[in-house]
Chain A
Amino acid sequence: MSVRHALLALLHEGPKYGLQLRQEFEAGTGEMWPLNVGQVYTTLNRLERDGLVEAADDDEGPQRTFRLTEAGGSELEEWLRTPPDMSAPPRDELVIKVLVALRLTDVDVAELLQAHRRQLVELMQQYTRLKGDVGEDDLGLALVVDAELFRLDGLIRWLDAVDGRLARLPRGPDGERAAPASRPRTTPERLRRQIGSRR
């Protein structure tokens, strides 16, 4: 999350002072991203140093007001159009846990997948209740909650896909599925190298 660019965006609407920026940032994200006021002033000082904002008055106190410079406007526009960095394979903790579980012979992987699925759905229930309780009036909150719900939903779909892949593994003579640990393995590190080599 770029606080720097969020502040530029808020100043694009007109000159504002630090506390005001913090309040508007939190309101705009449905108060899901609390922001330390110290962080706001530190960021404003850096933006001023870089020529992206400038003082709009002579006040040196907490009411000191800033406005966007022309360079700040260009920086904001460029940032909006630059795709976020999605290139590196995610080192998601859940993915690591499942990969580790597949190597351990005494772990019930199906049960483990279900435990994670339940915990993710329970978290989704809380976000959905939050969305349901505030209605459709708070657009900022709805968008932030939707983003989180889609992210969690994606993880659950991935768990479902793991289940499906494990179910399709060939069974040995004893009826047990072949242990995944005995198969050639792609580690996250190897995956990173493979994807990197295609770029």
Chain B
Amino acid sequence: MTALELRDVSKVYGTGAAEVHALAHIDLAVEPGTLVAVMGPSGSGKSSLLTIAGSLEEPSSGDVIVDGSRLADLSRNDRARLRRQRIGFVFQDFNLLSGLTAAENVSLPLELDGRSARRARPVALAALDRLGLADQGDRFPDELSGGERQRVAIARATVGDRQLLLADEPTGALDSANGEAVMRMLRQACQDGVAGVVVTHDAQLASWADRIVFLRDGHVVDQTAPQPGPDSLLSSDAGR
């Protein structure tokens, strides 16, 4: 089963002369264990695609299917539950709650879903541990570096039974070393079985993905083909 499928999705904002076609007839399928990058310039529709995939916004037409469920068939409450249980979001500016510790930020989606704080905490600490933040659970966001904050956000996005990880320019606020560390972690989360979609205008960031889809003026204009293993770089002139 695909973790995320967009079928003929279009999004129009405004009406009449002010009408803007943000997305036009988008088809996209993301399998579990795969990281897909959506790359395009500002205004190409990247963020609209992500918010629609994450059910934060509804398409004007077309279907969005997450983990086998067609979002249009779900009630508002069921969509919210699906979002809480199945989808994790990572944003450029981290979006951590400043009044909660790292562990509390990570356990929040579990608690919102009905788990007690006592039972949620060890799960949150395990998620932080996987991202190398075992000792930082009781620190507040403003006591953490930018790279650490984004790792907390990834822990929050992957905690529990999430199947779909959606990231909007997740390294935009980080230096290149921390940005690379974050991309390694997103890639690892996908190799562990999650489906990931990262939207970006940055080719270096996108190149961590298994597949790159190019978006322009709301249309998918191209995508990368599966690549041979990196050994091909070592045995040919391509490495010179």
The chain A residues found within 8 Å of chain B, CB to CB, are 31-34, 114-115, 117-118, 120-130, 132-133, 149-150, 152-153, 156-157, 160, 163
Contacts and interface: CB of A to CB of B under 8 A. Distances in A.
B233 A130 contact: yes
Interface residues of B, number: 28
A124 B203 contact: yes
Interface in B114-148: none
Contact of A127 (B206, B221, B222, B233): B233
A132 B203 contact: no
Contact of A121 (B41, B187, B212): B212
Given A114-B222, A125-B224, A130 B206 contact: no
B224 A118 contact: yes
A185 B42 CA distance: 29
Contacts, number: 72
A182 B195 CA distance: 49
Determine the main DSSP class of B at the interface with A.
Answer: mixed
A125 B211 CA distance: 9
A114 B214 contact: yes
Contact of A156 (B203, B225, B228, B230): B203
Nearest to A145: B233
B234 A122 contact: no
Nearest to B236: A34
B207 A121 contact: yes
B184 A132 contact: yes
A124 B204 contact: yes
Interface of B: 39, 41, 184, 187, 203-204, 206-209, 212, 214, 216, 221-225, 227-230, 232-234, 238-240
Contact of B230 (A34, A133, A152, A160): A133
Given A33-B239, A132-B208, A153-B204, A126 B233 contact: yes
Contacts of A34: 239
6 contacts: A33-B240, A114-B214, A122-B227, A126-B229, A126-B230, A132-B208
Contacts of A32: 233-234, 239-240
Contacts of B225: 122
Contacts of A124: 203-204, 206-207
Contacts of B229: 126, 129
A34 B233 CA distance: 11
B203 A121 contact: yes
Given A120-B203, A121-B203, 12 more contacts: A32-B233, A32-B240, A117-B214, A117-B222, A122-B225, A126-B229, A127-B207, A127-B233, A132-B184, A132-B187, A149-B207, A150-B204
A158 to B, nearest CB: 11
B203 A127 contact: no
A121 B228 CA distance: 13
